[in-house]
């Protein structure tokens, strides 16, 4: 029985995901719940487990593709003949590690156990080694009848069924004086090579199955620069790569930057074009969706957090003795959960289709984590049930997982409210975008000394600016103001949190 594994929703409301890496290949025998791929969402890179055990028959996408939810990701044979399939996969692996023998065109394999199966171009089962052999000998696999397990084309099928194609290719190869090979490179790499005047026929590919990467092209540029030139205006093919850079001077910083991106020219001068990563594209799409779907309004207020600063300083050393980094964020998380109890509208989501407000009776607080790969939003589940120390430990653990792309789906979904704190970067105030479908998000600026009038006296106090962006479809300005005042009361007098008055 063939099981069609369709790409599941690995996040809350996900409609597509980036196929970051396959961890299996065609012919592999897998167990249930074994990781078969790594998939990137707008929040994390997660491991994708197989729902069944069996033998992989076909992979429908390649690494780097964007896979819509519900589309077939792979085919898995669930039949009980796992031992035979495993043996065949082992034999293929062993054959791939030994040099391919020179095919004898007159040799024909015995095919007593299997009936040859004709193939269409859209349904071809063959290992990468067999495909490479066919490509090198200009053999159309669609014309080959297979004798392998599950209709897979073997090396013997090619050598016995494509006599004329292989013989013609061998004869043509014997008559040429240059080595002709198939160039494996993505369109972006080919474009980069054209921009830098690099002949890909002269570039050695270091990628999978000999694919030429952008690093290979850059290495070719540097190699051509190191070679001496007899004439700067040589028109021979060998001089093409050398003419891509100056023969008299090393690469400038501008030239190096261009090699890393895609050089181009505008009316004003040279520019560098860098493609957006798939993760960046997903983030951008979600931000636009939030702005276009919700009626966002931002309310700001200044908060005197002098008492909070003093409380943190008091317990900072004690926390450090327990290997806990005590920042201001755990206090803010605790204050938000307390405020949300009093104002449940801000711990909700809107069902646009049914026009119903869904009030959440759990408090999963997300926080924006800045990583080298982009913005991730880890989620502190059931934050209302955790102590400030526990929240601090969870924040540190989740932030590290975000940097390493190891967040599980449960650690990056089902959030009810989000905090975006950029105070450590020196920002005073900003207007954060709601993490849709949540109702609101709190932006936290830097804590700094400011002059405040208290009881008619001007005193220097620790102040912070809070920015609350909320969906005006769900909450009015007065609702947001009351929520902010409740939140401010907890931050101005954090002992209320310790006494669990909330």
Distance of alpha carbon 29 from alpha carbon 417, whole angstroms: 43
Q: Where are the alpha helices (DSSP H) in 302-428?
A: 306-320, 329-342, 388-403
Q: Pick from 19, 41, 43, 38: which is nearest to 371 by CA?
A: 43
Distance of alpha carbon 324 from alpha carbon 317, whole angstroms: 9
214, 192 Cβ separation under 8 angstroms: yes
Catalytic hit among 138, 169, 211, 472: 472
Compute CA 137 distance to the chain's CA centroid, rounded to the nearest angstrom: 37
Distance of alpha carbon 281 from alpha carbon 285, whole angstroms: 6
Residue 51 CB partners (closer than 8 Å, separation 6+): 3, 5, 32, 33
Distance of alpha carbon 389 from alpha carbon 497, whole angstroms: 13
SS3 category, 91: helix
Q: Where are the alpha helices (DSSP H) in 343-428?
A: 388-403
Helix axes 329-342, 388-403, angle to 10 degrees: 110
Q: What are phi and psi of 260, to 5 degrees?
A: -70, -30
What are the tokens at 266?
A: 């505008």
End-to-end CA distance of the chain: 57
Beta strands in 60-104 (DSSP E): 66-68, 72-77
181 catalytic? Reply is no
Residues annotated as catalytic are 472
């Amino acid at each position: 029985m063939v099981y069609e594994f369709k790409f599941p929703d690995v996040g809350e409301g996900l409609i597509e995901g980036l196929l970051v890496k396959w961890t299996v290949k065609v012919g592999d025998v897998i167990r249930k719940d074994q990781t078969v791929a790594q998939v990137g969402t707008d929040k994390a890179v997660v491991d994708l487990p197989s729902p069944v055990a069996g033998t992989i028959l076909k992979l429908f996408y390649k690494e780097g593709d964007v896979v819509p939810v519900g589309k077939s990701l792979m085919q898995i044979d669930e039949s009980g003949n796992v031992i035979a399939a495993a043996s065949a996969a082992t034999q293929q692996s062993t054959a791939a590690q030994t040099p391919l023998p020179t095919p004898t065109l007159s040799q024909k394999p015995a095919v007593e156990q299997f009936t040859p199966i004709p193939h269409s171009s859209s349904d071809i089962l063959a290992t990468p080694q067999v495909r490479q052999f066919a490509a090198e000998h200009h053999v159309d696999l669609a014309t080959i009848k297979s004798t392998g397990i599950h209709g897979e084309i073997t090396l013997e099928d090619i050598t016995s069924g494509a006599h004329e194609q292989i013989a013609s290719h061998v004869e043509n190869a014997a008559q040429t004086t240059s080595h002709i090979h198939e160039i494996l490179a993505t369109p972006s790499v080919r474009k980069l090579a054209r921009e830098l005047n690099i002949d890909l026929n002269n570039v050695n590919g270091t990628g999978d199955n000999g694919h030429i990467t952008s690093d290979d092209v850059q290495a070719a540029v540097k190699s051509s620069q190191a070679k001496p030139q007899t004439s700067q205006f040589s028109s021979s093919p060998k001089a093409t790569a050398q003419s891509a850079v100056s023969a008299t001077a090393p690469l400038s910083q501008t030239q190096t930057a261009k090699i890393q991106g895609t050089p181009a020219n505008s009316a004003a001068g040279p520019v560098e074009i860098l493609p957006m990563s798939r993760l960046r594209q997903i983030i951008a799409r979600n931000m636009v969706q939030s702005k276009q779907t919700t009626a966002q309004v931002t309310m700001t207020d200044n908060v005197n957090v002098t008492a909070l600063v003093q409380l943190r300083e008091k317990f900072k050393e004690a926390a450090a003795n327990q290997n806990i980094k005590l920042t201001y964020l755990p206090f803010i998380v605790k204050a938000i959960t307390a405020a949300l109890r009093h104002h449940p509208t801000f711990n909700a989501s809107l069902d646009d289709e049914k026009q119903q407000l869904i009030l959440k009776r759990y408090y999963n607080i997300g926080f924006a984590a800045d990583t080298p790969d982009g913005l991730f939003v880890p989620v502190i589940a059931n934050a209302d049930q955790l102590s400030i120390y526990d929240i601090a430990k969870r924040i540190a653990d989740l932030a590290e997982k975000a940097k390493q792309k190891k967040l599980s789906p449960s650690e990056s979904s089902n959030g009810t409210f989000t905090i975006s704190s950029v105070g450590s970067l020196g920002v005073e105030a900003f207007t954060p975008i709601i993490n849709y479908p949540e109702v609101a998000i709190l932006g936290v600026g830097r804590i700094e000394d400011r002059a405040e009038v208290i009881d008619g006296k001007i005193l220097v106090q620790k102040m912070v600016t809070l920015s609350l962006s909320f969906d005006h479809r769900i909450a009015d300005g007065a609702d947001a103001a009351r929520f902010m005042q409740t939140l401010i009361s907890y931050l101005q007098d954090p002992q209320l949190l310790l006494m669990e008055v909330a």
